[in-house]
Structure 1
């Protein structure tokens, strides 16, 4: 069960969370977010300490961003993944993948987030399967920048039958490890956590995460 901790912003906190053996660290590059990570000093710190992340993949979260901004941010912050958390089309994802296939820019894998509502049709994900090797299923409804902080009805996962693996997201908190472990879905690869583990926006409670990760891994 992989763990992504999103909404990271401060170097010391990033280093401490990374020390828990986290699989993905998420940096939000949406200026409207209180967890906005687009500070040049952070990019410089990552570049100077890239050896800290040999076993951790850095994920940049974008919301309806211009493609040039995504490309430049992947380069400047040495990202391994881009997570598209807006209304990006399948064509947008295909264009990103094509651009990385024909130039020498730093390349990243593409993860598409979907907002799950009671009437969401999982067939809407099919058009993204050729360009996105990973999905994130987050809570739909009234969106804040980066999510709602609320859970959705996980029983709806029974409707998902695509071969693309996914991370479960949306309002996951410290007491949810047991319920997550009970989810029986062949494409569940892990969880994406954020606000329920914070002391303030962008700052994660390391001990709370340590306990949660231990319970999740059993």
Structure 2
């Protein structure tokens, strides 16, 4: 069960979370988010501590961003994945993937996030399968983009039958570890946690995260 901790922006906090052995750390590059990570301090720290990420992938989260901004941010912050958390089309994802295939810039894999509510049709993810090796299923039906602290009905996962693996996201807290362990879906690869582990926007409670990881992998 892989774990992604998202919404990070402080080098000191990232360093603490790396020591927990998580699989992904997520940084939000969306200016309207209270967890907006862009800063020279963070960029320089990531470049100077590349070796610390030997077993942890760096994910940049973008919302309807210009492709040039994504390309530059992947290079500047040494990202391994880009998570597209807006209304990006399948064509947009293919264009981004194509650009990385024909130039010498640092390349990243694409994660497409989908906002799931009771009316969501999982078949809408099919057209993204050729460009996105990983999906995230987050809580839909809210004006806010990510970090709402709200969950969606996980029973709806029974409708998902694509071969693309996914991370479960949306309002996951310490108390959910047991329920997550009991989920049975062949494409479930892990979880994406954020607001339920925050001390303040962008600052995570390392003690609670450590307990969650222990419970999740018990």
TM-score (norm 2): 0.99
Aligned to 1:50: 50
Q: Give the SS at the match of 1:34.
A: coil
CA RMSD of aligned residues (A): 0.6
Q: How does 1:55-74 map to 2 (within 5 A)?
A: 55-74=55-74
Runs of 4+ in 1 over 4 A off after TM superposition: none
Q: Give the SS at the match of 2:209.
A: helix
Aligned to 1:193: 193
Where does the alignment leave 5 or more consecutive residues of structure 2 unmatched? none
On the 8 A contact 2:147/2:194 being kept in 1, the answer is: no
Aligned to 2:175: 175
Aligned to 2:120: 120
CA distance in 1 between counterparts of 2:49 and 2:147 reads 29
CA distance in 1 between counterparts of 2:143 and 2:8 reads 19
CA distance in 2 between counterparts of 1:142 and 1:70 reads 25
Q: Give the SS at the match of 1:167.
A: strand
Aligned to 1:23: 23
Aligned to 2:94: 94
Q: Give the SS at the match of 2:175.
A: coil
CA distance in 2 between counterparts of 1:116 and 1:148 reads 13
CA distance in 1 between counterparts of 2:19 and 2:86 reads 30
CA distance in 1 between counterparts of 2:107 and 2:51 reads 18
On the 8 A contact 2:110/2:132 being kept in 1, the answer is: yes
CA distance in 2 between counterparts of 1:180 and 1:173 reads 10
Where does the alignment leave 5 or more consecutive residues of structure 1 unmatched? none
Q: Does 1:78 align with 2:78?
A: yes
Residue 143 (structure 1) shift: 3.0
- CA deviations 1:82-137 (Å, max 9, x no partner) are 00000000000000000000000000000000000101000000000000000000
CA distance in 2 between counterparts of 1:141 and 1:9 reads 26
Aligned positions, number = 218
